[in-house]
């Protein structure tokens, strides 16, 4: 009897591919497989040659790029020296998640499927191409594909004698058990940030707690949009960056939401616990201290403000003691209920916490052990760095538009990270923000003679401020910036700085203030008006053009 072992590997940027991979993992457990679900970069790729059965779930990001948590795997897999038959013992299936409005739709899944085939792998099914643009989302493809996949897998690896598929009516055990510590046990250290190894640059697992130096509103008080120029002190962090790089910031939930969540679930915020994996071999969640308080768990880890996914309602239905609530939850988690779920959740951007309010009987019955299965972790947010180390050594600045908008729900929607950052006041004490730096997609020319045309409406100007500061510090002139906003007197970010550089001959600046006159004027109008100059820079100056929104 072949060993019934299944490995599910995912490459996920926003969490959708991870959510789908975990769904495959749950379905495997119902079919009595020994199953591990891991990010592609967390698994040792060299061990793939010993794996009999692997399901890959991959998203495609940007212009056909692999997600961050599969980049190392991707580089390894495409090494020229891998022998052609090295994966001949591997049965595999690839499930792609993409968006057909992009030219490189599901590029990563297609390319992965092809490469595994080249290396001798045996595909169980054609590659699945889930599409965000479909009325029912990716599930329109995923649901039938998974039915076909289990048929194939069970034909190769039949159920052991005497065992049946665990019924969908039965609740699977949680990933972890939450063991409360006695009230009088010693307090956990309040420092949630694990320092990086000496000499190592900060990263997602070891962010740097940067001190916020200033948090300044750069739009007029009368302007509808609150935009901040925020400065951090990164002295002693080992962080280095250049123009075009991105800072990743790990946000946290606001105290009111944390308090509401604890009340709804009848959790005691100051109770301390340790986590124990239900199955041996399951790793503990990274970035969560052991022991930990409920307050810290909800503040720093559980994403209670994200829009809940189908899997949230599916698991919630198991805890429901109220028939009406259970029926609704089961409808939201069924294939037929996806349009209604979209109208309830995605269209109005309803949060997990708000959905819990709507199912009060069920919510107060959620066992704490299942919190990690039910609610994803808070993901870091990316911001273009808006300053240069050459101009501001040991400092880093970002330009943040505070996200706030209305939907049909009475309460305005707020961006988790931007709202949290805007609420911090460094004048009222020591304020720390966990962050690390990632290489950005923009590379500025190495040749000092190459002119640069930058088009940056609104906060899209952030990376260009870094580039201009860097280039000016190096004595480079050919800097041409097209900047657009609504009003000259309300949201013209860094106006004084730009005007000084124009006076000194370092910058050619074109501005478009769309609402300052009857006809709306945008950056594209200014480009057209100055087409002669633009063409001259392109044709004889070999200029590079950059655009950020």
Shared domain check, 361 and 327: yes
pLDDT band at 1 (very low <50, low <70, confident <90, very high): very low
Residue 103 lies in a domain: yes
Any residues with CB less than 8 A from the CB of 521 and at least 6 apart, and which? 512, 513, 514
Residue 190 pLDDT > 60: no
Q: Which helix (H) or strand (E) holds 498?
A: helix 495-503
Where residue 237 sits, what CATH number does that domain have? 2.40.30.10
Shared domain check, 121 and 32: yes
Domain boundary among 318, 346, 374: 374
- Encode pLDDT of 434-484 as tens digits: 999 999 989 999 998 999 999 999 999 999 999 999 999 999 999 999 999
Residue 161 pLDDT > 80: yes
Shared domain check, 425 and 362: no
Residue 415 lies in a domain: yes
The secondary structure of residue 377, as a DSSP letter, is: B
Residue 308 pLDDT > 50: yes
Predicted local distance difference test score (pLDDT) of residue 192 = 56
Domain boundary among 323, 352, 374: 374
Where residue 114 sits, what CATH number does that domain have? 3.40.50.360
Domain boundary among 374, 402, 426: 374
Predicted local distance difference test score (pLDDT) of residue 549 = 87
Predicted local distance difference test score (pLDDT) of residue 63 = 87
Could you tell me which of 462, 443, 459 has the C-alpha nearest to residue 386?
Answer: 462
424/54 Cα distance (integer angstroms): 45
Share of the chain above pLDDT 70, in %: 97
Shared domain check, 228 and 335: no
State the residue range of the domain holding 267. Answer: 255-374
Where residue 527 sits, what CATH number does that domain have? 3.40.50.80
Shared domain check, 149 and 11: yes
Cα 141 to Cα 223, 313, 429, 455, distances in angstroms: 44, 20, 52, 39
330: left (phi over 0), alpha (psi -120 to 50) or beta: alpha
Shared domain check, 150 and 52: yes
Residue 167 lies in a domain: no
Q: Which helix (H) or strand (E) holds 144?
A: helix 139-156
* Contact call for residues 29 and 166 (beta carbons, < 8 A): yes
Average pLDDT of every residue of the chain: 94
Could you tell me which of 375, 377, 356 has the C-alpha nearest to residue 252?
Answer: 377
255-262 average pLDDT score: 98
344/472 Cα distance (integer angstroms): 51
Shared domain check, 478 and 428: no
524/512 Cα distance (integer angstroms): 9
Predicted local distance difference test score (pLDDT) of residue 448 = 83
The SS3 assignment for 313 reads helix
The SS3 assignment for 547 reads strand
* Contact call for residues 380 and 250 (beta carbons, < 8 A): yes
Pairing label, strands 34-39, 5-11: parallel
362-380 average pLDDT score: 96
494/213 Cα distance (integer angstroms): 18
Residue 165 lies in a domain: no
Any residues with CB less than 8 A from the CB of 462 and at least 6 apart, and which? 383, 384, 385, 386, 398, 399, 456, 548
- Encode pLDDT of 506-526 as tens digits: 999 999 999 999 999 999 999
Residue 39 lies in a domain: yes
Lowest mean pLDDT among 105-109, 179-183, 359-363: 179-183
Lowest mean pLDDT among 38-42, 61-65, 229-233: 61-65
Shared domain check, 261 and 247: no
266/365 Cα distance (integer angstroms): 9
Q: Which helix (H) or strand (E) holds 38?
A: strand 34-39
Could you tell me which of 76, 71, 7, 63 has the C-alpha nearest to residue 35?
Answer: 7
Shared domain check, 148 and 33: yes
Predicted local distance difference test score (pLDDT) of residue 514 = 96
- Encode pLDDT of 70-128 as tens digits: 999 999 999 999 999 999 999 999 999 999 999 999 999 999 999 999 999 999 999 99
Share of the chain above pLDDT 90, in %: 90
Residue 195 lies in a domain: no
Residue 144 lies in a domain: yes
Shared domain check, 325 and 290: yes
Q: How many domains, the chain?
A: 4
Shared domain check, 264 and 118: no
Instruction: Give the predicted TM-score (pTM) of the model.
Output: 0.92
Residue 175 lies in a domain: no
Shared domain check, 126 and 16: yes
Give the ranges where 448-487 is alpha helix by DSSP (H): 462-473
What angle separates helix 16-30 from helix 310-319, to the nearest 10 degrees? Answer: 40
- Encode pLDDT of 53-64 as tens digits: 999 999 999 889
The SS3 assignment for 253 reads coil
Percent of the chain as helix, strand, coil, to the nearest 5: 35, 20, 45
């Amino acid at each position: 009897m072949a060993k019934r072992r299944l490995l599910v590997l995912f490459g996920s940027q926003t969490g959708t591919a991870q959510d789908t991979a975990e769904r495959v993992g749950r379905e495997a457990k119902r079919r009595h497989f020994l199953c591990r679900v891991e990010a592609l970069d967390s698994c040792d790729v060299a061990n793939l040659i010993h794996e009999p059965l692997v399901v890959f779930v991959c998203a495609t990001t940007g212009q056909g790029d692999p997600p961050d948590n599969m980049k190392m795997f991707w580089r390894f897999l495409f090494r020229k020296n891998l022998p052609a038959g090295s994966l001949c013992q591997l049965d595999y299936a690839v499930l792609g998640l993409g968006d057909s409005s992009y030219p490189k739709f599901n590029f990563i899944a297609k390319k992965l499927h092809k490469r595994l085939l080249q290396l001798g792998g045996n595909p169980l099914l054609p590659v699945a191409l889930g599409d965000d643009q479909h009325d029912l989302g990716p599930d329109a493809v995923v649901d039938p594909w998974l039915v076909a996949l289990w048929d194939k897998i069970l034909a190769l690896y039949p159920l052991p004698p005497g065992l049946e598929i665990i019924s969908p009516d039965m609740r699977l055990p949680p990933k972890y058990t939450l063991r409360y510590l006695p009230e009088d046990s010693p307090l956990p250290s309040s420092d949630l940030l694990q320092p990086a190894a000496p000499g190592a640059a900060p990263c997602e697992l070891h962010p740097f707690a940067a001190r916020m130096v200033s948090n300044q509103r750069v739009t007029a008080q009368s302007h509808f949009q609150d935009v901040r120029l925020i400065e951090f002190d990164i002295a002693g962090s080992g962080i280095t960056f250049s123009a075009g790089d991105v800072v990743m910031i790990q946000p946290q939930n606001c105290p009111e939401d944390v308090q509401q969540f604890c009340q709804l679930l009848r959790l005691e915020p100051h109770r301390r616990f340790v986590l124990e994996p239900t199955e041996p071999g399951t790793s503990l969640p990274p970035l969560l201290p052991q022991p930990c308080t409920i307050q810290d768990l909800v503040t720093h880890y559980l994403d209670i403000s994200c829009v809940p996914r189908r899997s949230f309602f599916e698991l919630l239905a198991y805890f429901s003691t109220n028939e009406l609530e259970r029926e609704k939850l089961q409808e939201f988690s069924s294939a037929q209920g996806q349009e209604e779920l979209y109208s309830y959740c995605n269209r109005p951007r309803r949060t997990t916490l708000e959905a819990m309010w709507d199912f009060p009987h069920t919510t107060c019955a959620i066992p704490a052990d299942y919190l990690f299965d039910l609610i994803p972790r808070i993901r870091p947010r990316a911001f273009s760095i808006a300053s240069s180390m050459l101009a501001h050594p040991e400092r880093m600045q970002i330009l943040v538009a505070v996200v706030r908008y209305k939907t049909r729900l009475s309460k305005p929607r707020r961006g988790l990270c931007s709202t949290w950052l805007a609420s911090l006041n460094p004048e009222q004490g020591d304020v720390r923000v966990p962050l690390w730096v990632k290489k950005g997609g923009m590379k500025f020319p190495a040749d000092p003679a190459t002119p640069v045309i930058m088009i940056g409406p609104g906060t899209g100007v952030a990376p260009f401020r870094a580039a201009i500061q860097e280039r000016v510090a190096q004595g480079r002139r050919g800097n041409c910036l097209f900047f657009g906003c609504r009003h000259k007197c309300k949201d013209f970010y860094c106006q004084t700085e730009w005007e000084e550089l124009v006076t000194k001959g370092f910058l050619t600046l074109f501005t478009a203030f769309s609402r300052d006159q009857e006809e709306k004027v945008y950056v594209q109008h200014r480009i057209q008006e100055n087409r002669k100059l633009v063409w001259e820079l392109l044709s004889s100056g070999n200029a590079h053009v950059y655009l950020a929104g």
